[in-house]
Structure 1
Amino acid sequence: MCTCLLLPRCPIARHHILLPLSLFHKVGPRIPLPKSCPLFMGRRHHSSITYNSHLNKCSSLRELKMIHAQIVTSGLSSNLSLATKLISVSNSVAVRMDYARQVFDAMPEKDVFIWNTVIRGYADSGPCKEALVLYCQMHRDGRHPDHFTFPFVVRSCGVLSALFLGKQAHCNAIKNCFDYDIFVQTSLVAMYCQCGDVDNAKLIFNEMELKNTASWTAMIAGYVQNAYFSDALVLFHQMLESEVRPNSITLVSILPACANTDQLYQGMLIHAYAFKLGLDADISFINTLISMYSKCKNVDISRSLFDRMEFRNLVSWNSMIAAYENNDQPRKALKLFRRMKTEGVNFDYITMVSVISACAKLGALNTGRRVHELVEMKGLSSNPSITHALLDMYAKCGSVELARKVFDSLNEKTVVSWSSMIGAYAAHGHGLEAMLLFTDMHGQGVRPNGITFTAILTACSHAGLVEEGKKHFDGMTRYFNLVPGVEHYTCMVDLLGRAGRLVEAYDFIQKMPIQPDADVWAALLGACRIHRNLEIAELVAEKISLDHQTINYYVLLSNIYAEAGRWDDVARLRMLIEKRQLRKIPGRSSLEIIKDSMHSSQVKGYACHGSI
């Protein structure tokens, strides 16, 4: 059976054209079309201008296929202008690029404009790799790119973090004399930043003779993406001084640079400036504001912004739920999630990571299980972020067995997965199980990282396995070429201190190759209280000089004095506490520290009672 349609001789191509019938499959007469569609106009032939008009009104892929069929029967299928229009409309009405690519591949002749259209489609819709493949094919076919080609190609390199290919495209742009085109330069700035090469991005940006809003925004966003927050703020002020008006994308890009208490005032100024420009109603800007204020510990302002929104998308809900969870208000996070479900808003894996973390912070296993059921119903149980959150939640609820069940269900176990499970065992004093799991991890060829060693040293400390802990600490450098950080030295001091080897712990600190911080001394001070060693406790107090910002050390030393019956010293320390108006810092479990070290967005806390 023939699977191709033979078209009449085309006056442009001057030969018969074969198009696969698959282009027009599933097209039937029942599909509603506007009366202006050529299929309602009989068998008359129309000009390309007429078909362009119909294509401009096209709103679905089925309708596009029917118009395309009429174009084919009219003998205009090889018309480059119409083919380019077909691809362009397909890019906008279809989710995938399959149909657009079939139209492109069927064209006997191709100009640079049709190449640009299909490359842009892949750059916009993906897969971006295909944009680069087509760009190479374009060169092989002897077609020279123009200044419209390079922004799409360079952008695809940025999305793929393909720095080497991006540099090749940059060289080609220079070779074709397009390196001073503002759109090419802007795309290069964005690409280099996305690939982490901020220096080259800055070099190109500084060489730009003309900078528009997109150029400034690309460089500002690049600084923020690479954590150059101060540079981003300086550049934003330079942009304002150059009288280039920022848009909502610029403001959304700069706000994360203000997402800490030190830069709160800057964030508030940008908020006010957006109000002055009339951009404060932009939903993406408000969502970013909610996140910024929450990270600056101003959750009430975040909620006020959320409540005043006329329209909320999923990001709005996720931002506010995460704001409560990250600011230790898990009950409000769960309450808002219930409201989200009541209003019929579909959640995603980002929502559930925050909800699971909120459950963990409140401490009820039953609620965590119900959330787990929701995750499975939604088909999100295979998401790595979800599984790590569930593992963490079950561990902190005291159910190491369920945590292990989640761990065992993972199809692919990464170093984060192994470290999380080892940390769960460590937090509950299952030192031997942690050691066995670490051995299993090593046996399966997974290379441990610094977080893994923090977990295993904590496990040794809680289980009193001093020699095993010392062996693993030495093995970090000897076998894995890892340089111990201050957190690993803290674990070792805690390990020796718990075992009553206080003198050895003190000597260990004295020989550290890096400067011990207050946490290292605090670990030894805590051990001094456990073993009632006042002599070393006073030596430690001199070393840390009783940091006036941290009450914990005062409390520890005060308790040591009290247990030794030195009430005058107790009274002296309490007077210092009152004089300096110190507040107790909320405690954190060792597993929370381990999870924080893995990645800042990973969940932490203790699970909740109640219903979802």
Structure 2
Amino acid sequence: MHIMHLKYLLAQFTKPNQTLSSTRILHALIIKSSLCHDPFYATKITRFYSLNNDLISARNLFDKTPQQSIYLWNSIIRAYARALKFFDAFLLFKRLLVSEIKPDNYTFACILRACSESFDFQGARVVHGRVIVSGLGLDYICNSSLVSCYSKLSLVAEASSVFLAIDEPDLVLWNAIISCYGSSGDLAKGIELFNEMLKLGKWPDGYTIVGLMTGLADQSLLKLVEVVHGFCVKCGLIMNDHVGSVLVCVYSRCKNMDLARSVFDSLLQPDLVTWSALITGFSQAGDYVNALTFFTKLLMGGASADSVLLASVLAASSQLAILGPGCEIHGYAVRHERDTKVMVSSALVDMYAKCGFLESGIRVFRNMVDRNIVSYNSVISGLGLYGRADEAFKVFEELLENGIKPDEATFSGLLCACCHAGLVNKGRQYFKRMRDEFGIQAKTEHHVYMVKILGMDGQSREAYEFIKSLHEPVHCSVWGALLSCCDACSTNELPEVIVDHLIEKKRRNRSYDVMLSNLYAGKGRWNDVRQLRVDSGGAKGKTPGISWIGV
């Protein structure tokens, strides 16, 4: 081989990445210089092909290499796993097991990662068995991969079992097991291990904190989160971008937006995940104006919103019932070719319906290439709210014809349609089908709709018997629905029975006092009205409503 070619070749192999064109030039030089039989060069070229998403060339090179080292095997298995072709990666792994070459710790690490990403529970256990058979049961790389794999699969017992069998786990292993408990929501156990790690002299890093806090969404543990936050401030870990990001996510999930905003403002360059967490947190906390404001700031900073974030801000726009921001977000989704994503299209249908433009929502629904249960639920609920029950029923039948299984939200939309259209028999039919045909357990919202369907048709006594047939405790909103029907239909005897029941169960609230007061006033029972005001502590009534017009 020419000496200049050899120098060029060696210089290129010292670079971590190559473009596809340069990889092909290297491959050609290797073939020309008769080095193609050397597994070292084949391994490098296979890796470069994989990084450039040319899996066909990588596999061709692997198949044509006569001497296949374990490094070459690892390279091609990793290539398939990286391309999310997990089935092919497992087939290669099985071929390796029956060959003369033994897998090493990196082979198992690669295939375990493929198991976690493909949610292959059984495969993970099988690979674990092969690790032990291969004599690598105490290997750090294998054990760290096992703990991480079991953690991502939420197999906490298996992850803990592997971890406890290790004599002196390093920081990577501690992070893996703490992340396992963090992702499962067991912050108490995670902190217990965290404290144990500190006692053994292992100092945490940013990944430790991220693993500890991942998956936490329980507001009752907010104090513990603040303790961890304080620890990060004292130790300087708060300057870590990953730590700041996870704190914003956790505070947002716990609906403490003041602390989430405080941490967010301290970050120099928050990433898209952090922005999304803050914006979604504002939306879920009911602060829709701030959700849209920060979304605008994100876009003005030159960032690009993904489908999840677009769905979240569309939900905020629908709650404000202002069409302008929703239309602007729709335009952004179209320009960035995200309007065809199912979650974005479904959110658009819901937004247009709640903003008073149902036809626009239906048009979006009909133009969708792929539809899921959320898409159908959005249009069924929208039609139901507008009293267009027959159309909602047709969409439901279309859903069944397409082989999609309805869920709780589907029947909430159907019962809502029956309620708004006054279709008592249809309401009974769908309530019965929900339980008997689809095995869906009725929830509070389904009970509320059934009571309204019966009560508003003048069948208050049947609605009352329906509530009495439900398992205790019956949510107070169900009783409130019956009371509102009595108010609308001027039913005489039931209101006091309902209120007595709510008093007995200690579920009475001021809104029910207002409805009962209206009933008494309508019948001229002013002494009862005055007594009710005394009993309720001088309640002034409901919070005044607010309305506006967006121009």
1:228-255: CA deviation from partner (whole Å, max 9, x where unpaired): 5555455545544555433322322332
Pick one of 383, 408, 411 that aligns with 1:453.
Answer: 411
Cα distance in 2 between the residues matched to 1:60 and 1:549: 71
Cα distance in 2 between the residues matched to 1:534 and 1:237: 64
CA contact (8 A) 2:249 2:274 kept: no
Structure 1 residues 280 and 156: alpha-carbon distance in aligned structure 2, compared to 1, 3 A threshold:
same
CA contact (8 A) 2:18 2:48 kept: no
Cα distance in 2 between the residues matched to 1:418 and 1:439: 10
1:290 maps to what in 2?
248
2:70 maps to what in 1?
112
CA contact (8 A) 2:109 2:142 kept: yes
**In structure 2, what residue type is equivalent to 1:267?**
V
SS at match of 2:470: coil
Structure 1 residues 366 and 198: alpha-carbon distance in aligned structure 2, compared to 1, 3 A threshold:
same
Instruction: Trace 1:373-412 onto structure 2 (pairs within 5 A).
Output: 373-412=331-370
Instruction: Trace 1:263-342 onto structure 2 (pairs within 5 A).
Output: 263-342=221-300
Cα distance in 1 between the residues matched to 2:85 and 2:486: 60
Give, in angstroms, the shift of residue 111 of structure 1: 1.6
Give, in angstroms, the shift of residue 314 of structure 1: 2.2
Structure 1 window deviating more from structure 2 (222-231 vs 326-335): it is: 222-231
Cα distance in 1 between the residues matched to 2:166 and 2:493: 66
SS at match of 2:34: coil
CA contact (8 A) 1:58 1:64 kept: no
**In structure 2, what residue type is equivalent to 1:426?**
G
Structure 1 residues 257 and 482: alpha-carbon distance in aligned structure 2, compared to 1, 3 A threshold:
closer
Instruction: Trace 1:496-575 onto structure 2 (pairs within 5 A).
Output: 496-513=454-471, 515-533=473-491, 535-545=493-503, 547=506, 551-564=510-523, 565=526, 566-575=528-537
2:317 maps to what in 1?
359
Pick one of 395, 417, 428 that aligns with 2:386.
Answer: 428
Structure 1 residues 96 and 522: alpha-carbon distance in aligned structure 2, compared to 1, 3 A threshold:
farther
Instruction: Trace 1:106-145 onto structure 2 (pairs within 5 A).
Output: 106-124=64-82, 126-145=84-103
Gaps of 5+ in 2: none
Structure 1 residues 466 and 333: alpha-carbon distance in aligned structure 2, compared to 1, 3 A threshold:
same
1:595 maps to what in 2?
none
CA contact (8 A) 2:255 2:284 kept: no
1:84 maps to what in 2?
43
1:426-457: CA deviation from partner (whole Å, max 9, x where unpaired): 22222222223223323343322222112211
What is the identity percentage for the equivalent residue pairs of Structure 1 and Structure 2?
A: 27
SS at match of 2:437: helix
**In structure 1, what residue type is equivalent to 2:289?**
R
2:399 maps to what in 1?
441
Cα distance in 2 between the residues matched to 1:110 and 1:181: 24
1:502-560: CA deviation from partner (whole Å, max 9, x where unpaired): 22112112112453222222222222332344642232233333757955444444444
2:377 maps to what in 1?
419
Cα distance in 2 between the residues matched to 1:58 and 1:475: 61
SS at match of 1:482: coil
Structure 1 residues 481 and 348: alpha-carbon distance in aligned structure 2, compared to 1, 3 A threshold:
closer
1:133-183: CA deviation from partner (whole Å, max 9, x where unpaired): 321221243422122221211110110011222222222223223334343
Pick one of 189, 194, 204 that aligns with 2:152.
Answer: 194
Pick one of 126, 134, 155 that aligns with 1:176.
Answer: 134
CA contact (8 A) 2:148 2:180 kept: yes
**In structure 2, what residue type is equivalent to 1:42?**
M
CA contact (8 A) 2:147 2:160 kept: yes
Give, in angstroms, the shift of residue 265 of structure 1: 1.4
Structure 1 residues 568 and 241: alpha-carbon distance in aligned structure 2, compared to 1, 3 A threshold:
farther
Alignment: residue pair count = 546
Structure 1 residues 573 and 178: alpha-carbon distance in aligned structure 2, compared to 1, 3 A threshold:
farther
1:601 maps to what in 2?
none
Cα distance in 2 between the residues matched to 1:202 and 1:409: 49
Greater relative contact order: 1 or 2 (C-alpha under 8 angstroms, separation 6 or more)? 1
Gaps of 5+ in 1: 1-7, 9-38, 588-605
**In structure 1, what residue type is equivalent to 2:333?**
V
**In structure 2, what residue type is equivalent to 1:571?**
R
CA RMSD of aligned residues (A): 3.3
1:1-28: CA deviation from partner (whole Å, max 9, x where unpaired): xxxxxxx9xxxxxxxxxxxxxxxxxxxx
Structure 1 window deviating more from structure 2 (81-90 vs 382-391): it is: 81-90
Structure 1 window deviating more from structure 2 (221-230 vs 398-407): it is: 221-230
**In structure 1, what residue type is equivalent to 2:4?**
G
CA contact (8 A) 2:38 2:67 kept: no
**In structure 2, what residue type is equivalent to 1:141?**
S
Cα distance in 2 between the residues matched to 1:563 and 1:51: 95
Structure 1 window deviating more from structure 2 (564-573 vs 547-556): it is: 547-556
Structure 1 residues 404 and 53: alpha-carbon distance in aligned structure 2, compared to 1, 3 A threshold:
same
CA contact (8 A) 1:551 1:585 kept: no
Report the TM-score, using the length of structure 1 for normalisation: 0.80
